Amino acid sequence: MIRVNNAGFRKHSFIVLFFVLAVSVFSLSVPPMQGAVNDWAGILSASEKNELETFLNATNDQTSVQVAVLTLPSLEGESLETFSMKVSEAWKLGQKEKDNGVLLLVSMEEKKIRIEVGYGLEDRLTDIKSGLIIRNIIAPAFQSGQFGKGIIEAAKTIVGIVTDNEEIISKKINKTDNDDSIVGFIIFIIFVLFMTGALGRRGRGGCGGGLGNLFWLHLLFGGSGRGGSSFGGRSGGSFGGGSSRGGLGGGFRGGGGSFGGGGASGGW
């Protein structure tokens, strides 16, 4: 019969509980959504904030697409992707039946940027395109201290991509840098390698088998434009501090949208 040292068990349980509570207390909490623009880092001027919130509110009203901006002074040790998912899950950006929400998160101390994309928009605002927005639009603007310019241009490009409005998509996003061209290139390379191997093994008989397999490769990869990264997680904590530098408010509220980790991360 195994004897359990109750005193020792209680002691170790108390230690484990202490550390669990400590992590919960000191983890960064999700700030309340105060509208489409939540500038807790205070990097936007009043005019920039007003321009951005007016644009994002109009986008929400006219298309039901919800794009929210969140700037933070620091992640306070949290993972960028994990905290981005925490915010997305708490704010529930986008409509429940469409999952058409996007979160643009900026953390100043770590110089990190995250674009979190709702399920319903992952086929249009793909991981690749999200990465291009960060690298080609936000990062260069931030490096020159133009935080408002970078965020506004990025937000308009995001909306332009998901609503098929090419007029507001930044020219810094090269039209050739899209998923279709990359997937097509991958298929071409696979085809060349496959045909080279098939012809080497089978001689003339390899062409028929190679073309047959090319058909299946096209079916598997030809229509794919979706990223597939999966990040995130859940952690506890409630918002414990306030700031008057948040958004301007209004009727912008989450509609029940869901997120699955699609998007991209970067920095400047």
Q: Is the CB of residue 260 less than 8 Å from the CB of residue 233?
A: no
User: Given its phi and psi angles, is residue 92 left (phi above 0), alpha (psi -120 to 50 degrees) or beta?
Assistant: left
Answer whether residue 56 is part of any domain. yes
Answer whether residue 200 is part of any domain. no
Report how far residue 224's alpha carbon sits from residue 14's, in angstroms, rounded to the nearest whole number. Answer: 51
What pLDDT, in 10s, does the model give residues 60-97? 999 999 999 999 999 999 999 999 999 999 999 999 99
Answer whether residue 164 is part of any domain. yes
Answer whether residue 46 is part of any domain. yes
What is the domain range of residue 135?
Answer: 37-172+263-267
Proportion of the chain above pLDDT 70, given as a percent: 62
**Contacts from 137-141 at CB under 8 Å and sequence distance 24+?**
137/170, 137/172, 137/173, 138/106, 138/113, 138/266, 138/268, 139/113, 139/266, 139/267, 139/268, 140/268
Token duo for residue 173: 């996003």
Q: Which one has a higher pLDDT value, 209 or 144? A: 144
CATH number at residue 76: 3.10.310.50
Answer whether residue 127 is part of any domain. yes
Answer whether residue 214 is part of any domain. no
* Number of domains making up the chain: 1
Answer whether residue 124 is part of any domain. yes
Ordered strands of the 101-107 beta sheet: 37-39, 66-72, 101-107, 112-118, 259-267
Answer whether residue 85 is part of any domain. yes
What pLDDT, in 10s, does the model give residues 146-200? 999 999 999 999 999 999 999 999 999 865 455 555 555 566 677 666 666 655 5
